[in-house]
Amino acid sequence: MATMLSLRRLLARSHAGFRFQFQHTAAVAVKNEPILEFKAGSSERQALEKVLNDLKGQTLEVPCVVGGETVWTNEIRYQLCPFNHSHKVAKFCYADKDLINKAINAALSAHREWDLKPVEDRAQIFFKAADLISGSRRADLLARTMFGQGKTVIQAEIDAAAELIDFFRFNAKYAVELQHEQPISESPSTNTTLYRSLEGFVAAVSPFNFTAIGGNLAGAPALMGNVVLWKPSDTAMAASYTVYKILLEAGLPPNVIQFVPADGPMFGDTVTDSEHLAGINFTGSVPTFRHLWKQVAEKLDKYRTFPRLIGECGGKNFHFVHKSADTVSVVNGTIRSAFEYGGQKCSACSRMYVPDSLWPEIKKNLLEEQKKIKVGNSFARNKKWIEHARSSPNLTVIAGGKCDDGVGYYVQPSIIETKDPQDPIMKEEIFGPIVAIYVYPENKYQEILHLIDTSTPYGLTGAVFAQDKNVVAEACKVLRYSAGNFYINDKSTGSVVAQQPFGGARISGTNDKAGGPHYILRWTSPQSVKETHVPLTGWRYPYMK
């Protein structure tokens, strides 16, 4: 054991001074960040109101950051506020092919030193970044998320503050603890696992809807010693750049993450062309991830290593309601899951199955609650679904159904009843405040469970509402593969880091469970080291004598 420790210390010290200490108390104490309430008069509300006022009408300049330097290209773009198109939230530029290649080289040149830095030092940077977001930078990041991605204060708080802080802190904890996962040693040798990063660079491609996801897609591989090219979403630019700046402020060396806004396909083509591509950390739609995967497959012969492909994609998340369900939970859970953040959460409920015996009561209460929702901002593909509902004989719009893109992008929370459980509205991702409902004969619930399992190719989230324990057990079995995040008597959204690690399989993604302890394993390429402490004095085996 002594030698095993000395080997690790030696490797660590050779590059990073003498701070690295393996301790035998493995656990690092971390708690979920409390979600602030922003009640009238609270200090957090006052701080936020001030920043919102200061940023009103302001445009953040967002350059590319490559090789530690800010770079402006001629391809200028703007991020518009979704609820007021006249407000340019950010001015940014697209990196071209040359600049992306430059970013790859700059990242690669920083790789060795960063990878050899003790994990505790790397973790420290992420703990510091989390502290900054929790404290002095909270209001700014919330305001950028609210203006840029059209979130209410509480939606911004659970995303850009609570979830991002949790990602940084828990991943850092898991990374430090992982070093204690060591193999057994048999005398006269000692065995060690070294958690190296992947060899090459990681491309992180993030979606528009969650500030926290961007931070995690770029941050988690970096924490594990990788160098990263981060391509943020055009419509999350201001918040993504703010997160990047916070990481630098927390001590992240300049070249570890290259910040490269770019046209999506241009970025994808260029990074998959590099022999040094070691991984892609993607969150977004199924077609984009499939496209990237195919590009990697086509170019497989050129890579120095098999690139790791991690993708979290869309869902067609269900609420199944049994006749034994508590209808109050069904109604409130569905309103929250289907309509919060305009239904633009990958886990948002967009299909629901209700027994005919409960439908009159659930319908009445759903419609009553729907009327109380103040329409926020959210649009285009949603309009297509509303038009589909209006023109199909199988579908009835029973609430909502209006869209308006005058000042911002507004879609009314809409409830659509379908007579056909195989209608596209029950099968395809909508990604907007639209929930489709199929009313089934209550004694046919077993058929409905099978229908839920087989009628879409997705497997992200889903919920079962039933008080009857036997039905719950039955549903758990039938729906075992239909959801990576499965809820019993709770809505299909709202996963919390370290409590419900998130991700789905089937076409919803590679199910690597962001926010859980195993996620970081995807960003390491462990090396097994055996060291023998006595000389090998002969080559013959005893039986030969």
- Enzyme catalytic residues: 312, 346
Residue 531: count other Cβ atoms within 10 Å of its Cβ.
Answer: 14
One of 233, 255, 412, 456 touching ligand NAD (CB under 6 A): 233
Q: What are the start-end ranges of the H helices in 250-380?
A: 264-273, 286-298, 327-339, 359-372
One of 509, 516, 519, 524 touching ligand NAD (CB under 6 A): 509
Nearer of residues 261 and 421 to ligand NAD, judged by Cβ: 261
Closest CB 163 distance from ligand NAD, rounded Å: 11
Q: What angle do CA 35, 37, 39 make, to 5 degrees?
A: 165
Closest CB 330 distance from ligand NAD, rounded Å: 23
| 222 lies in the binding site for ligand NAD (CB under 6 A) | no
User: In the stretch 52-91, what mask flags binding to ligand NAD with x, by CB under 6 A?
Assistant: ----------------------------------------
Handedness of CA 106, 112, 115, 120 (dihedral sign): negative
Binding segment toward ligand NAD, per CB under 6 A, in 134-142, 168-176, 199-207, 420-428: 199-207
Nearer of residues 48 and 262 to ligand NAD, judged by Cβ: 262
Nearer of residues 228 and 439 to ligand NAD, judged by Cβ: 228
One of 150, 268, 355, 400 touching ligand NAD (CB under 6 A): 268
How far apart are alpha carbons 46 and 43 in whole angstroms? 5
Nearer of residues 230 and 440 to ligand NAD, judged by Cβ: 230
Footprint of ligand NAD on residues 315-354 (CB under 6 A)? 315, 346
Nearer of residues 312 and 417 to ligand NAD, judged by Cβ: 312
Binding segment toward ligand NAD, per CB under 6 A, in 11-19, 136-144, 264-272, 329-337: 264-272
Q: Is the peptide bond before 188 cis (omega within 30 degrees of 0)?
A: yes
Answer yes or no: are the C-beta atoms of 286 and 507 closer than 8 Å: yes
Residue 524, Cβ density class (10 Å: 0-12 exposed, 13-18 middle, ≥19 buried):
buried
Amino acid at 330: V
Closest CB 417 distance from ligand NAD, rounded Å: 24
How far apart are alpha carbons 231 and 213 in whole angstroms? 12
| 95 lies in the binding site for ligand NAD (CB under 6 A) | no
The torsion angles phi and psi of 284, rounded to 5 degrees, stand at: 165, -150
Distances (CA, A) of 459 to 313, 464, 479, 480, 506: 10, 14, 10, 10, 5
How far apart are alpha carbons 171 and 177 in whole angstroms? 10
One of 79, 179, 209, 226 touching ligand NAD (CB under 6 A): 209
One of 150, 314, 515, 516 touching ligand NAD (CB under 6 A): 314
Nearest residue to ligand NAD, by Cβ distance, number only: 268
Cα 356 to chain center, whole Å?
Answer: 36
How far apart are alpha carbons 417 and 394 in whole angstroms? 8
Answer yes or no: are the C-beta atoms of 482 and 338 closer than 8 Å: no
Number of residues binding to ligand NAD, judged by CB under 6 A: 29
Binding site for ligand NAD (CB under 6 A): 205-210, 213, 231, 233, 264-265, 267-268, 283-285, 288, 291-292, 312-315, 346, 429, 431, 460, 502, 509
